[in-house]
Structure 1
Amino acid sequence: MIVDAHCHVWPDRIAPQVLAHRPAGLDPVGDGTLDGLRRVMDEDGVDMACTLAIANEARHVARTNEFIGGVDRDRFVPFGTVHTGLSVEENLSLLDANGIRAVKFHPNFQGMSLADPAVIDLFRALAERSVVVLAHVGEGSDAAASARGASEHVRTVTEQVPDLTFVACHFGGYHTWAGVLSAATGSGAYLETSWPPSLDGLEPKEVSDVIRRHGQGRVVFGSDWPMARPGRELAALRDLGLEEDALTQVTGGTLADLLGLTPSERKTPRAGSPA
């Protein structure tokens, strides 16, 4: 079972506007819509995708969660949004109202540090509800954003909220491999593999060493679609030379367990290695 932990989606009418601004300075390889993602999943052999939604401002949390809570759960796992501009109770209520059990946190776009006491308090409340938190970690659009999502905060989160299932995107240090090695690796977080524009731009031995050091059961595959193609990222993982059981865990087994997913009867086409 292949599960992609990191796919951004927007309503059909909004997706072109968002992608036209080249978020994070990247050129998209997909259209950012649910239908577009489903097509790519079928082409690249992905069974389930975590669909991520982010509200940059507190006033958009309700509408964003309503959209993401309505995805097709046969193929998608909705990751909603929270914001410290709302009370803890309001955030939890909006997740509950839409049946959402996982959230995406983005210090770059949301303007909140992973180490902010209000964020830690919110994470504690999410941990009590067994809500999974997946967060961007590493370089942001400017120095302030990079500081909000710095790798060192991974240990702050996991040490202050040890019961939280915390998934650190980009191996816990996007474009800051030193942070991956010094702060994220060996932490209490799960590390997610996306590295747009592609994981194949990193040295394979360095990546495989991090996976082995951190533990193959604590690393999960993510593509960061529509900024990267799932098939290309899966090919990069397969080229690392991991043992078959490790590859099975990383590409879906571990995340399926965390999210309570079961293999679908649906058979998705298995493509080779799309460009």
Structure 2
Amino acid sequence: MPIDPSKILAIDVHVHAEVSCHDPEDPVMAKFFDAASTYFKADRKRPTIPETIAYYRAQNIAFCLFTVDCESGIGAKRISNYEIADIAAEHDDIVIPFASIDPRKGKFGAREARDLVEHHGVRGFKFHGIMQDCHPADRVAYPIYEVIAEHGLPAIFHTGHSGMGTGMKGGGGVRLKYGQPILVDDVAVDFPDMKIILAHPSWPWTDESLSMALHKDNVFMDLSGWSPKYFPKQVIQYANTQLKHKMLFGSDWPLIRPEKWIDAARAAGFREDVLPLIMKDNAAKLLGLG
């Protein structure tokens, strides 16, 4: 049963799957989860994918579900994109499957991307340059982007600071420079048919994301990873005016719960006519849900 936007409260475009239904937690990834739980003051026990689905169903919120493939960047085994696609197909009234493919997999990664889109119902992709240790516009990733653009699908790019690695020795070996939003600008130019979602308020480079969303018709922002009460003032300003059709609700589950984000958003200064656009309408249009 396809998602009916009129029957749901919101669409969360930023939900992580961090526990496989089949495989044990990867020990390399576990160290990053430990640090992130401390940084976000969140429960270390990660919900399973079925638990996540049940939670969002109870909240009546549809959501984009993905893992992060950083096998080359930090050597952590990923959760299979096929696992996520398969369980999403069983709950397609509320779950929108996204995939993540390490950019360094290049043409072989492009083969996987095409198969996921054409045969397994994947509706978008997630990239995390910091954890993947890769410049977003590195040409090694372009074969994957070509598949995404060919099918007119969105791609989420992590931007700004990262809770992953915060507090670890040497930041866990990951480099924050790959989270600078302007690095994605070349991708937006070279792939104008690919909808690009810059994840998070992008601190300390917030103004770069706002500029790109203003300048490029294919660039959007999701507001995940921060409670709205901590948003830089210019995010609220532009969301209420020039970028009201470019802002998307995202929580960053399981580190931030969607209902807490929504409660904070209602008090953050968004205009009454703008909040419904952020919570659901913009994402429904971007994702082709009607």
Q: Same fold (TM over 0.5)?
A: yes
The answer for the alignment partner of 1:79 in structure 2 is 98
Shift of 1:49: 1.1
What is the RMSD of the two structures over their aligned residues, measured on CA atoms?
3.0
Higher mean displacement: 53-62 or 181-190: 53-62
Asked if structure 1 preserves the Cα contact closer than 8 Å seen for 2:14 and 2:251, the reply is: yes
Alignment pair present for 1:21 and 2:31: yes
Match of 1:193 among 210, 223, 230: 223
The answer for the alignment partner of 2:70 in structure 1 is 56
Output the amino acid matched with 2:115. S
The answer for the alignment partner of 1:265 in structure 2 is none
The answer for the alignment partner of 1:37 in structure 2 is 52
Q: Secondary structure at the match of 1:158?
A: helix
CA shift in 2, pair 1:216/1:21, >3 Å: same
The answer for the alignment partner of 1:244 in structure 2 is 272
Shift of 1:147: 1.7
Alignment pair present for 1:147 and 2:177: yes
Asked if structure 2 preserves the Cα contact closer than 8 Å seen for 1:52 and 1:80, the reply is: yes
Q: Secondary structure at the match of 1:114?
A: coil
Shift of 1:154: 3.1
Output the amino acid matched with 2:50. D
Aligned equivalents of 2:78 and 2:34: distance in 1?
A: 24
CA shift in 2, pair 1:34/1:222, >3 Å: same
Aligned equivalents of 2:281 and 2:136: distance in 1?
A: 27
Asked if structure 1 preserves the Cα contact closer than 8 Å seen for 2:117 and 2:123, the reply is: yes
Gaps of 5+ in 1: 263-275
CA shift in 2, pair 1:259/1:7, >3 Å: same
Shift of 1:63: 6.6
Output the amino acid matched with 1:3. I
Q: TM-score, normalised by structure 2?
A: 0.76
Q: Secondary structure at the match of 1:77?
A: strand
The answer for the alignment partner of 2:129 in structure 1 is 107
Aligned equivalents of 1:145 and 1:211: distance in 2?
A: 29
Alignment pair present for 1:166 and 2:196: yes
* Identical positions, percent: 23
Q: TM-score, normalised by structure 1?
A: 0.80
Aligned equivalents of 1:139 and 1:63: distance in 2?
A: 23
Deviations 1:83-130 (A, max 9, x none): 331413343224433221211111122222112122244323311111
Asked if structure 2 preserves the Cα contact closer than 8 Å seen for 1:134 and 1:169, the reply is: yes
Output the amino acid matched with 1:40. Y
Give the number of equivalent residue pairs.
Answer: 258
The answer for the alignment partner of 2:14 in structure 1 is 6
Deviations 1:216-254 (A, max 9, x none): 111100000011111111112211332333111100111
Aligned equivalents of 2:34 and 2:279: distance in 1?
A: 25
Aligned equivalents of 2:92 and 2:214: distance in 1?
A: 32
Aligned equivalents of 1:229 and 1:65: distance in 2?
A: 23
The answer for the alignment partner of 2:168 in structure 1 is none
Asked if structure 2 preserves the Cα contact closer than 8 Å seen for 1:220 and 1:254, the reply is: yes
Higher mean displacement: 182-191 or 217-226: 182-191
CA shift in 2, pair 1:49/1:90, >3 Å: closer
Alignment pair present for 1:211 and 2:239: yes
Asked if structure 1 preserves the Cα contact closer than 8 Å seen for 2:160 and 2:205, the reply is: yes
Shift of 1:209: 0.9
CA shift in 2, pair 1:11/1:149, >3 Å: same
Asked if structure 2 preserves the Cα contact closer than 8 Å seen for 1:15 and 1:32, the reply is: no
Asked if structure 1 preserves the Cα contact closer than 8 Å seen for 2:221 and 2:247, the reply is: yes
Higher mean displacement: 161-170 or 137-146: 137-146
Asked if structure 2 preserves the Cα contact closer than 8 Å seen for 1:61 and 1:81, the reply is: no
Q: Secondary structure at the match of 1:68?
A: helix
Asked if structure 2 preserves the Cα contact closer than 8 Å seen for 1:108 and 1:145, the reply is: yes
Aligned equivalents of 2:213 and 2:94: distance in 1?
A: 30
Aligned equivalents of 2:61 and 2:174: distance in 1?
A: 37
